[in-house]
Amino acid sequence: MKLGLVLRELHRAETHLAKDLLKTSDRHHAEHEVHHVARDLAAWSAVHVRDLARAGRAHDLDLGEDVPGPGPLEPLRTALAELSGRRPEPGLLLLADLRRLHRRAAGVSLDWELLAQSAQAAKDSELLELATRCHPQTLRQLKWTNAMLKVLSPQILTS
């Protein structure tokens, strides 16, 4: 079966989503809602990464359980976010980051659908339960990015 391919891709996509959420949180430290909510949403993806790694073992996959941290540039990114938070250009950067997050979350959502459908066809109840438990959180991440784009884009693009 090719369920291992789906698990590997979903694991990779969730890892990238978590890292992108953390980067966006750090980059837009001055935007408190973005900063804090993005961190919470990254934590959801980190749990998904761990759960996928555990599920992968049953399919002979060795997937990492940890999402790499922000790295040595985090303090610099935070300082720059504080300094640039008062200029108009950070708004455009924020919109670009939210668009990137939205596209990434949409891809992860699609991958959860593929896993659920494949698990159902293969009668793999554990993978189906995993997809049923995790996919709604990914949909919530997608809805948040969409809502933030709708709220922020008029004020950023018309000012």
Stretch 100-124: mean pLDDT:
97
- Report if pTM > 0.75: yes
Model pLDDT, residue 73? 63
Choose from 61-65, 81-85, 89-93, 99-103 the range with maximum mean pLDDT: 99-103
Cβ neighbour number for residue 6 with a 10 Å cutoff = 22
How far CA 139 is from CA of 5, 53, 79, 101, in Å, comes to 22, 21, 32, 12
Cα–Cα–Cα angle for 8, 10, 93, rounded to 5 degrees: 130
For residue 84, is pLDDT > 90?
no
Per-residue model confidence as pLDDT tens digits over 28-43: 988 999 999 999 999 9
- The torsion angles phi and psi of 108, rounded to 5 degrees, stand at -65, -40
3-64+72-157 to CATH, choices 2.40.50, 1.10.10, 1.10.3470, 1.20.1260: 1.20.1260
Structure confidence by residue, pLDDT tens digits, 47-83: 999 999 999 999 999 998 887 766 666 666 555 555 5
Q: Is 2 helix (H, G, I), strand (E, B) or coil?
A: coil
Domain ranges of the chain: 3-64+72-157
Least confident of 56-60, 103-107, 111-115: 56-60
Give exposure, 40-62, as e/b (b: 16+ Cβ within 10 Å).
ebbebbbbbbbbbbebbeebebe
pLDDT band at 159; cut points 50, 70, 90: confident
Q: Report whether pLDDT(138) > 60.
A: yes
Please report the DSSP string for 46-105 in residue order. HHHHHHHHHHHHTTT-----------TTHHHHHHHHHHHTTSSHHHHHHHHHHHHHHHHH
Least confident of 70-84, 87-101, 111-125: 70-84
Contact between 55 and 118 (Cβ < 8 Å)? no
Q: What is the pLDDT of residue 52?
A: 97
What's the CA dihedral at 120, 62, 9, 109 to 10 degrees?
Answer: 60
User: Distance between CA atoms of 92 and 95, rounded to whole angstroms?
Assistant: 5
